């Protein structure tokens, strides 16, 4: 029922126009009958009714309306019926409708109706009457054509706007997708760096402990047992660190003294490590604490892996406007190759520091007056981490 009502509602404007034409035609017929203007008054009723119907169909079915107008004209010629003023509505509705809503054939037929109507009017009424009818019909047709062009341009503009909006929305989605992919790749790279740092440091400490066990007297079972216990503890701690890295979704809160604990853990491997801390230590925000911890961890890993076991590793922390982390160790022989050219660990440290506004400096120095074929070199790694107070 609602669909039927909606279908009828779309015809309300056309029905109102047809009703106005019908009433105007009835009034004109009554006036002509009263003053005896037209001798053949019986032909007026079909003309008025047909004109009203044609006006009502002018928008929805302009071709049918034009055909009906031609039928009315033919009827008037055959019946010698008079031309009514109300038929001027044909110009305002039917001829206008052919160019406004009609097909190409209907448009051509509409403009062809102008001379077809104007010439007979000029013959029967006079030249000025023909000119008036031609002008009225022609202007109506041109007005319909102009509005048709404007409507087409407006529709094209809407289509173009929608296409532009869709393109913008697609570009926004692509941008968001690219950002998400970049974020996931960064997280993947960060995870790889964390695993590299944790596993590399743990293996270096375990390797150092295992190597030191080789020099223990076989009869000293307590020392061997202590070495095995240390290796087991280090392996267990390493597994916990790896598990934490793989399952953590956000940086853990900084733990006071964790840098010192990292040094003590490396010292337990058997390496001689000196530690010097100056300034007032203070808690760092999670992202800075993580960077400082991973950087020192990588420094100690490199020092134990590539450094000489006969010389101590010097570790220094200086708290000021920046936290300076420094390790100094001696490198000899083939262990000097990676530190000379820089490995993945150094590149990872540099990226970590640059991500928080820090920096890294690597220095390799050979003492003067040393003529050994493979001279020992002093390797110094210094990192600066910006210090920002942890928010309360």
Angle between helices 104-124 and 62-79 (to 10 degrees): 20
Joined tokens for residue 298: 């990588």
CATH numbers and ranges of domains, the chain = 2-163 (no CATH), 255-392 (3.30.565.10)
Question: Do the Cβ atoms of 329 and 313 come closer than 8 Å?
Answer: yes
What does the alpha-carbon distance between residue 283 and residue 289 come to, in Å, rounded to a whole number?
Answer: 8
Q: Name the nearest CA neighbour of 383 among 205, 242, 259, 272.
A: 259
Q: Per-residue b/e over 232-257, b at no fewer than 16 CB within 10 Å?
A: eebeeebeebeeebeeeeeeeebeee
The string of DSSP codes covering 209-223 is HHHHHTTS-TT-HHH
Read off the pLDDT of residues 115-130 as tens digits, 9 standing for 90 and up: 877 777 777 677 787 7
Q: Give the mean pLDDT of the chain.
A: 79
pLDDT for 383 equals 96
Give residue 81's region: left, alpha or beta (phi > 0; psi -120 to 50).
Answer: beta
pLDDT for 37 equals 65
Read off the pLDDT of residues 229-267 as tens digits, 9 standing for 90 and up: 777 777 777 777 777 767 765 555 445 468 988 888 888
CA distances from 229 to 208, 271, 360 (A): 14, 17, 36
Q: Compute, in degrees rounded to 10, the torsion defined by CA atoms 306, 320, 293, 274.
A: 40
Which of 188-192, 269-273, 274-278, 314-318 is predicted least confidently?
A: 188-192
Beta strands in 164-287 (DSSP E): 273-278
- 55 pLDDT above the threshold of 90: no
Name the CA radius of gyration of the chain, rounded. Answer: 49
Per-residue pLDDT band at 337 (split at 50, 70, 90)? low
What does the alpha-carbon distance between residue 182 and residue 187 come to, in Å, rounded to a whole number?
Answer: 9
Instruction: Give the single-character DSSP code of 29.
Output: H
Rounded (5°) CA angle 354-357-358: 70
- 276 pLDDT above the threshold of 90: yes
pLDDT for 254 equals 46
Q: Once rounded to an integer, what is the mean pLDDT over residues 61-88?
A: 80
386 SS3 class: strand
CA distances from 301 to 111, 131, 166, 199, 297 (A): 93, 104, 53, 10, 6
pLDDT for 264 equals 87
Read off the pLDDT of residues 200-218 as tens digits, 9 standing for 90 and up: 777 777 777 677 667 667 7
Q: Once rounded to an integer, what is the mean pLDDT over residues 150-176?
A: 89
* Predicted TM-score (pTM) above 0.85: no
Question: Do the Cβ atoms of 173 and 180 come closer than 8 Å?
Answer: no
What does the alpha-carbon distance between residue 55 and residue 15 come to, in Å, rounded to a whole number?
Answer: 9
Q: Once rounded to an integer, what is the mean pLDDT over residues 28-38?
A: 71
Q: Give the length of the chain.
A: 392
- 187 pLDDT above the threshold of 90: no
pLDDT for 253 equals 46
For 372, phi then psi, to 5°, come to -65, 150
Rounded (5°) CA angle 244-250-251: 75
Per-residue pLDDT band at 382 (split at 50, 70, 90)? very high
Q: Name the nearest CA neighbour of 304 among 338, 270, 258, 333.
A: 270
What does the alpha-carbon distance between residue 234 and residue 252 come to, in Å, rounded to a whole number?
Answer: 21
65 SS3 class: helix
């Amino acid at each position: 029922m609602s669909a039927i009502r909606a279908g009828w509602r779309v015809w309300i404007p056309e029905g109102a126009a047809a009703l106005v034409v019908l009433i105007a035609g009835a009034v004109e017929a009554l006036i002509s009958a009263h003053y005896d203007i037209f001798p053949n008054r019986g032909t007026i009723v079909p003309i008025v009714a047909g004109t009203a119907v044609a006006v009502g169909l002018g928008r929805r079915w302009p071709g049918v309306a034009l055909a009906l107008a031609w039928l009315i004209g033919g009827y008037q010629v055959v019946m010698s019926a008079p031309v009514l003023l109300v038929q001027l509505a044909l110009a305002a509705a039917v001829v206008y409708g052919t160019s406004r809503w009609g097909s190409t054939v209907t448009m051509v037929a509409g403009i062809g109706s102008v001379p077809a109507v104007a010439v007979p009017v000029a013959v029967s009424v006079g030249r000025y009457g023909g000119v008036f009818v031609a002008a009225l019909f022609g202007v109506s047709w041109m007005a319909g054509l102009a509005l048709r062009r404007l409507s087409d341009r407006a529709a094209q503009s809407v289509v173009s706007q929608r296409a532009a909006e869709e393109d913008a929305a697609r570009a926004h989605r692509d941008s968001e997708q690219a950002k998400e992919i970049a974020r996931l790749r960064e997280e993947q790279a960060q995870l790889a760096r964390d695993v590299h740092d944790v596993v590399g440091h743990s293996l270096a400490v375990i390797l150092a402990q295992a190597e030191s066990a080789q020099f223990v007297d076989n009869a000293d079972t307590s020392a061997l047992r202590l070495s095995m216990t240390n290796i087991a503890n280090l392996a267990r701690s390493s597994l916990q660190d790896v598990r934490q890295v793989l399952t953590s979704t956000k940086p853990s809160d900084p733990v006071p003294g964790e840098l010192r604990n990292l040094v003590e853990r490396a010292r337990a491997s058997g390496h001689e490590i000196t530690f010097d801390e100056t300034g007032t230590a203070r808690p760092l925000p999670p992202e800075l604490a993580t960077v400082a911890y991973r950087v020192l961890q990588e420094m100690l890993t490199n020092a134990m892996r590539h450094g000489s076991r006969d010389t101590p590793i010097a570790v220094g922390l200086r708290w000021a406007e920046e936290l300076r982390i420094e390790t100094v160790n001696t490198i000899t022989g083939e262990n000097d190759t990676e530190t000379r050219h820089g490995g993945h660990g150094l590149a990872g440290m540099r990226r970590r520091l640059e991500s928080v506004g820090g920096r890294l400096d690597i220095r390799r120095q050979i003492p003067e007056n040393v003529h050994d074929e493979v001279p020992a070199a002093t390797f110094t790694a210094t990192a600066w981490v910006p210090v920002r107070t942890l928010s309360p």
